[in-house]
Chains A and B, each alone.
Chain A
Amino acid sequence: MRHIISILMENESGALSRVAGLFSARAYNIESLTVAPTEDSSLSRMTLVTSGSAEIIEQITKQLNKLVDVVKLNDLNVSGVQHIEREMMLIKVKAPVSSRDEIMRLSDIFRGNIIDVTDDTYTVELTGTSDKLNAFIASFDCDSILETVRSGVMGIARGSSSLHL
């Protein structure tokens, strides 16, 4: 099963490589990983998407907790926790005059913003679940996509529970 794990860790050089190294050394899956400092500049917040059996996920959270730089972590996919997840994508597509209107309509349907325009390209910014981003990509044929860049998933728990010190 797919799990989103949120991690608060010391904002030290090498902290990211400890997490990445743990996953490769123990042959765990990483689907995506995103990291940036928090409002407290001594801490980084990482969101990691992984998958595996219940036993493997348990090991992953235990092994992550064991890393000395990890201050706290939450698995957002456990019973009793509801969460919101979002991913952001920038996608550059061919935009010949004949398909410009269609791309704008598509972008509107998906609540995207066209953030850059040239004579023959559009760049669209889109935020949502990974499924939504996939659906947007699928609405283009491969030839017309010039470039995509995705942030990886970020997640947060619903309600008043929060991951903080």
Chain B
Amino acid sequence: MELSGAEIIAQFLEDEGVEYLFGYPGGAVLHIYDALLRADTVKHILVRHEQAATHAADGYARSTGKPGVALVTSGPGMTNAVTGIATAYLDSIPLVVLTGQVPTGVIGSDAFQEVDSVGISRPCVKHNFLVKDVKDLAETLKKAFYVASTGRPGPVVVDIPKDVTDPNIKIPYTYLPTIEMRSYNPVTKGHPFQIKKALELMLRAKRPVFYTGGGVVLSNASSSLRSLVKKLGFPITSTLMGLGAYPSSDEQFLGMLGMHGTYEANMAMHDTDVLIAVGARFDDRVTGHLEQFCPNAKIIHIDIDPSSISKTVQVDVPIVGDVDDVLTTMLEMLKESDGEKASFKVDQSSCDQDLKDWWKKIKQWRKKNCLRYNKKTKSIKPQYVIEKLHEVTKGDAFITSDVGQHQMFAAQYYGFDEPRRWINSGGLGTMGFGLPAAMGTQLAHLDKTVACVTGEGSIQMNIQELATCMQYQLPIKIINLNNRYLGMVRQWQEFFYEGRYAMSYMDSIPDFVKLAESYGHVGMQIDQTSDVEDALKEAFAMKDKLVFIDFLTNREENVYPMIAAGKGQHEMELAPDSELV
């Protein structure tokens, strides 16, 4: 088959099984767009801003596990996409971003819409390529998908100069189903000796705790994690990124840990003697002050990325490997040892007693009921909206979020029971992520319920995507927790700047109801607690419509518990008693 560069791209995307391509046309990618018209199985989604193309591809990837694909033009198209690329990078999300480039002959001449895309994206991609010759195009595209989706996943940028896609230059094309790269061989299998060592430590533990992260979701290890945690009977906590991998409704789940984690999760981390970190990276929002982090613990760390191990916290038993593979091996080893107890020389009865005592202690911490809040206020509590959202959607929705207080409330109160249902920008903390991510999620799951929990600050960062949602009839439900403040900024100013609210108040907030309507959607505004449930029911009953529900919430609500930056995990601040009715 003889194809031009542009046709190779279109044909390759079809051959690779790409369902959706999120993009925005421009001069440098016009040949590609022309060729795409003939690609029947790849549906192009025209966003309204390139940042949204990358976030939508990202939402698609997070909710399916398959790489998301975006196409943008050179120069400003590419620079607009950078925030989305960096967002995916920090959360290890597989993306392939095709960027147009000026023709090879004028690269470096400050040509119209030229930027050094490879240079600009280099610090926030897993890898990037500049294709200088159409003969390298098909192989480079295959490499991009391979690198993006294997090992620790991440975004890959392929920069394609316009002349490489010239419709008049045709070359033979064949699809490569697999590819090998001598410089890239990610480890998958954990070392059996290390796994055995870890198990021995776990079985001797008096106060063990699982600390699981986004790696469990990325590795599709939810089921092996559940089996292992159930078999061992240990408590488990999760990072923001790992929520849903273990069901939050289960008795053994302590809730999220970290800066806004639960009292019981953070106290258990502080007191544990054996910490089992699984696909988590000891982020500063989790560890708090490093010197006070898990002071009494031996640490086991399972991660596919060797550079995550002992990066900030020294680890006692490192296991480099794919999380699912390692957990499955652990389960197999435990099964074998059930037959012949001798293989792990552990005094079972004393361990059982220790574990009982540990749970007793945890139940004491649980009694604090740290997520309590006053439900009887007239003005709407954001926590209440999330709890009702959970009820109305029966806990079965895909929830995307933006960044700020609403994100923490959603994480704390929605109660995720399944992986890939909680879609948020944890690492980079990108405001404006929620709506485009919801588009990618909804397209990947056309018959499922998708809600975007956001705030009046975040939603305005990519509000233009309401038009995309109309064009493709995406029935997303937007839950706008509108407190007329940049809530998280205001909270920090209240706590750490003596209540000087510098620029955290936004004047001229639009009428979101009219705004939604002007795009052709349904808008609702709710300002009474008593109306919340009915409004949600009404909105979610509109199965084929995007509904923007603007909840006017309690203005100065704070997110609790909170560990202030630089404090230890046990030094959490809980909500004042007056709040805990």
A→B interface (CB under 8 Å): 9-10, 13-14, 17-18, 21, 25, 55, 58-59, 62-63, 65-66, 68-71, 165
Give Cα A47 to B58, complex, Å.
Answer: 37
B363 contacts the other chain (Cβ, under 8 Å)? no
Q: Which residue of B lies closest to A60 (CB)?
A: B307
Give Cα A17 to B314, complex, Å.
Answer: 30
Report the minimum CB–CB distance from B303 to chain A (whole Å): 11
Give Cα A70 to B147, complex, Å.
Answer: 14
A165 / chain B contacts, CB cutoff of 8 Å: 182
Inter-subunit contact B183/A70 (CB<8 Å): yes
B515 contacts the other chain (Cβ, under 8 Å)? no
Q: Mark B103-143, 1 if CB is under 8 A from A, else 0.
A: 00000000000000011001100110010000000000000
B193 contacts the other chain (Cβ, under 8 Å)? no
Give Cα A16 to B307, complex, Å.
Answer: 20
Report the minimum CB–CB distance from A43 to chain B (whole Å): 10
Inter-subunit contact B182/A17 (CB<8 Å): no
Q: Which residue of A lies closest to B306 (CB)?
A: A62
Give Cα A55 to B123, complex, Å.
Answer: 22
B→A interface (CB under 8 Å): 118-119, 122-123, 126-127, 130, 147, 181-184, 305-307, 309-311, 314
A71 / chain B contacts, CB cutoff of 8 Å: 182-183
A68 contacts which of B118, B130, B181, B306 (Cβ < 8 Å)?
A: B181
Inter-subunit contact B305/A68 (CB<8 Å): no
Report the minimum CB–CB distance from A50 to chain B (whole Å): 16
A25 / chain B contacts, CB cutoff of 8 Å: 123
B118 contacts which of A10, A14, A65, A66 (Cβ < 8 Å)?
A: A14
Q: Is the interface of A mostly helix, strand, loop or mixed?
A: helix
Inter-subunit contact B122/A68 (CB<8 Å): no
Report the minimum CB–CB distance from B204 to chain A (whole Å): 27
Inter-subunit contact B183/A17 (CB<8 Å): no
B305 contacts which of A9, A14, A55, A66 (Cβ < 8 Å)?
A: A66
A9 / chain B contacts, CB cutoff of 8 Å: 183
Inter-subunit contact A17/B306 (CB<8 Å): no
B307 / chain A contacts, CB cutoff of 8 Å: 59, 62-63, 65-66
Inter-subunit contact A17/B310 (CB<8 Å): no
Give Cα A97 to B292, complex, Å.
Answer: 69
B123 / chain A contacts, CB cutoff of 8 Å: 21, 25
B183 / chain A contacts, CB cutoff of 8 Å: 9-10, 68-71
Interface contacts beyond A9-B183, A10-B183, A59-B311: sample of 19 additional A-B pairs, CB < 8 Å, sorted by A: A13-B130, A14-B118, A14-B122, A14-B130, A21-B122, A25-B123, A58-B310, A59-B307, A62-B306, A62-B307, A62-B309, A65-B306, A66-B305, A68-B126, A68-B127, A68-B183, A68-B184, A71-B182, A165-B182
24 A-B Cβ contacts within 8 A? A13-B130, A14-B118, A14-B130, A18-B122, A21-B122, A21-B123, A25-B123, A55-B310, A55-B314, A58-B310, A59-B307, A59-B310, A59-B311, A62-B306, A62-B309, A65-B306, A66-B305, A66-B307, A68-B147, A68-B181, A70-B183, A71-B182, A71-B183, A165-B182
A55 / chain B contacts, CB cutoff of 8 Å: 310, 314
Q: Which residue of B lies closest to A10 (CB)?
A: B183
Q: Which residue of A lies closest to B181 (CB)?
A: A68
Q: Which residue of A lies closest to B307 (CB)?
A: A62
Give Cα A10 to B181, complex, Å.
Answer: 10
Give Cα A28 to B170, complex, Å.
Answer: 46
Give Cα A94 to B149, complex, Å.
Answer: 60
Inter-subunit contact B305/A17 (CB<8 Å): no
Give Cα A68 to B148, complex, Å.
Answer: 11
Give Cα A102 to B320, complex, Å.
Answer: 60
A66 / chain B contacts, CB cutoff of 8 Å: 305-307
B147 / chain A contacts, CB cutoff of 8 Å: 68
Q: Which residue of B lies closest to A8 (CB)?
A: B183
Q: Which residue of A lies closest to B128 (CB)?
A: A14
Give Cα A23 to B118, complex, Å.
Answer: 17
Give Cα A31 to B122, complex, Å.
Answer: 22
